[in-house]
Amino acid sequence: MARNRGTYAVIAADDFGRSPSVNRAIAEAHDRGIVTAASIMVKGKAFEEAVRIARSRSRLSVGLHVTLCDGQAVLSHAEIPDLVDRHGYFETSPSRAWFKYSRTGILSQLEKEIEAQFDLLAKARINPTHVDGHHHLHMHPALFRILCEKAAQRGVPWIRIPCEPLSLVFRYFIPRRGAMPFVEWAVFRMLKATHERTARNYGLHVANVVYGLSRSGQVDEKYLVHILTRSVGCIEIFTHPEMASEAGCRELEALISTAVQDKVASHGIALGGYRDIPPEAVIQAAEPERL
């Protein structure tokens, strides 16, 4: 990653391994576009294919997309009976899972499952460069501490804390999502400072700003250009490209857009995975209040 005016950008694609259509989109967005990192689901239906894709692309940073809702567990119902149904699937709703995991007495089961997901990734000979959570459930206070501890033990250097200026939530408001973007913003804003301290205490790095909440599932060319040309410091933009849905295809088109790539080049933005970013880049800029 070359030195520049001060913007280091990680463009991440989530749900790697969830399906062949997601895998193909991520591979194309990396090969032809600006995606530099992917967060992998170890129990996704196309996990093994995702591992092959990752191994053949040395410049793609791969992290663990910890899945504790809307997906399948590594461990069986007998091992984590309070987390999954008898078929080994988590609660589908992120909000219901959030409240469920606030109960005392199930943290040990959550810890076992997170450990098992790290183990499965290690068995595939993938050394994660970062860690985050499916539907950002890792932001749950109890889960965040556990995840930081497990990541530190495995030598994983970066963790995602999604939080962006409120001005973006208003600017890119999606009516069909109702109040959810504002609820997410408020909850994650409240947790941000505490989580940053927790991450630092475990020796983990955090980007200055992580964008994507305001356009979750709806990232387009206009959004990427807006973010990339106005940000300074170490940033991450998370995306969800896929070839089997209209929204996923639109995100893929944005990620391989020549207009976006031209803006990256003309503004001297350094793109890279988390392994490429010097830790000192994080202190170059504080989070903007408006964008």
The residue type of 127 is N
- Report in angstroms the alpha-carbon separations of 157 from 83, 114, 273: 28, 17, 12
First to last CA, the chain: 25
Q: Using pLDDT thresholds of 50, 70 and 90, give the confidence band for residue 286.
A: low
* Position 178 in a domain: yes
* Position 264 in a domain: yes
* Position 153 in a domain: yes
Which stretches of 160-276 are DSSP H helices?
A: 166-171, 180-201, 221-228, 246-255, 258-266
* Position 127 in a domain: yes
Q: Tell me, what's the pLDDT at 1?
A: 41
- Report in angstroms the alpha-carbon separations of 214 from 46, 181, 237, 252: 28, 6, 11, 17
* Position 289 in a domain: no
At a CB cut-off of 8 Å and minimum separation 6, what does 280 contact? none
pTM above 0.85, yes or no: yes
Residue 16 near residue 41, CB atoms below 8 Å: yes
* Position 125 in a domain: yes
* Position 21 in a domain: yes
- Domain count for the chain: 1
Q: Using pLDDT thresholds of 50, 70 and 90, give the confidence band for residue 153.
A: very high
* Position 80 in a domain: yes
Report the pLDDT averaged over residues 265-289.
76
* Domain interval for residue 134: 7-284
Instruction: Give the bridge partners for 37, in sequence order.
Output: 12, 61
* pLDDT tens profile 21-67: 999 999 999 999 999 999 999 999 999 999 999 999 999 999 999 99
Q: Tell me, what's the pLDDT at 233?
A: 84
Q: Tell me, what's the pLDDT at 64?
A: 98
- Is the pLDDT assigned to residue 206 strictly greater than 60? yes
The domain that holds 133 is classified in CATH as 3.20.20.370
